[in-house]
Structure 1
């Protein structure tokens, strides 16, 4: 069997095996790309008027206001996010009945603007389908991850099949023959659009795999660093439980917030993790630009005293670590702004169409191959 024919068989059967998952993951990815823009238009509580020279309230004030209706939830178990000037802050927690709840507040007055159960929120459902297909996490990791890995192989084998044998065939491989019969148009949609979207689709698929399998992301960072290791990137904050610690005089979330405000004054967005007392540090992340996750400073604090245990600033991170921090923004296209999101959206739509057009091609050839046998029998 010739090599190209073998590649074609591999392309066919891998596509049939993974097509449905690739279609769902790609379509939900396309929907999710513009979720921030759509939500800013449809959810007025995401924005507030920022008073002149007014500083946001401390996290403890926001936590108290958000949890007024949920006395069973401890403040130490919440996530607090400041999204920057002109945007509301949020307090996230899980209720006793398992409802993942997000409360939006005015960060300057602590007024509750809106709250919703993320289990029924449209974009939360879209994101969950995109990442897990609503399957248990242990199963979804391999079903989605395996299908996306197959999709990477599909893109590479598709390029091999697309490559024209003769020079005169090259022009038709770059254009869709719209005046032809629908089967030919479908064939061109699969081949031509697949070629144009292959490079972007490959980037989207790989960055998605990096989220599912963090060890892949660690490997990419190692390669990006030229095989070198940087000690500052490998340090993990630890709490010395043998040493007695004096509790912070003010709520721990306030201590953390005030420290990172002072240490990262240019940060617009601040995410504070749970600060419950225990063996694990309390973590906080600051981002230079709201709704962008690339330029990030990382902090770890003692869960009782609020003492800073570790700080990792964007400027001092290695090239590999900066690349890993960039992974989400690359995956959604927002690393290049609105233009990047449009490219990611179109590439995701084309990726969703490839299993459909490919299945139609296979079905047409399969039925075409059966016709001579029927005629011969007649």
Structure 2
């Protein structure tokens, strides 16, 4: 009997050891099942595995493993993983706190519409975190987006930002409304959005965003102002690879649409070419001058005065100089002042000359001021 009892005790011990070694809790079984799915390429399962490691559910907590699985899911386009990964680095409890590492994932999540990420990105811009330059415009913009989705932290941040600078707040608020219109296909809004991002006001300069909006404004709205700005971006390689042929194509299209600024730009290219092409330059400048562009009126007058690309005509040159001068073109005012003061091709008229020189001087032309002093 004692022998039987001993055997039963041994068997019970063995059973206990076996149960201890091989028994799995429901959480452990769930982890194992999900891990198999994640290893087979299931993106949502990969996010869950990241969660399990982050929270210690069915497995020992591991920030490194959580980050690894979140990154796998993020690489396959899961934006929820972007936010979880960003938050992991921002909090710095399971992994080393690293705002710079968090930033790209935070931006992706915010752009995908994650309200928490938008609020956090606004804080990054407001405080200049993660390698970003502090920019109140971007802070307001991202808080506006999060606030529209009901984020109370964003609404509180907006109140503080508005109190600090109400005028600038209104500028960014209008820009935010412009972005909404641009997203709805409004070509004029797309142009304004592109110009804002290209100029870097009221938000951080972003050439990729500028290129996107300006391209939409040109392709869908056929706005020549957009083609002109795009031409400059392709010429300089802003937001894209430099492409001189593309730049000329866009510039030519805007000029053919009788956009004076584009016509002037082509005239300037022809004038500064080596060797200069004065005939083409004069043709483009005079076309832009007819469109009312003061710079083009000045250059048309200058070329008429010099006889470049056209017959010399002082009276006609003076007409164009006056058109430009009446639009407060300081260079034209100075030239008119010299023409009348010195009698260059016309009878001397010091009264008329002084009138134009004084206007040029008031506009900041130092040469006009010096001539008046003499």
TM-score normalized with structure 2 length? 0.23
Q: Which has the higher helix share?
A: 2
Higher RCO (Cα < 8 Å, 6 or more apart): 1
Q: Which has the higher strand share?
A: 1
Structure number with greater Rg is 2
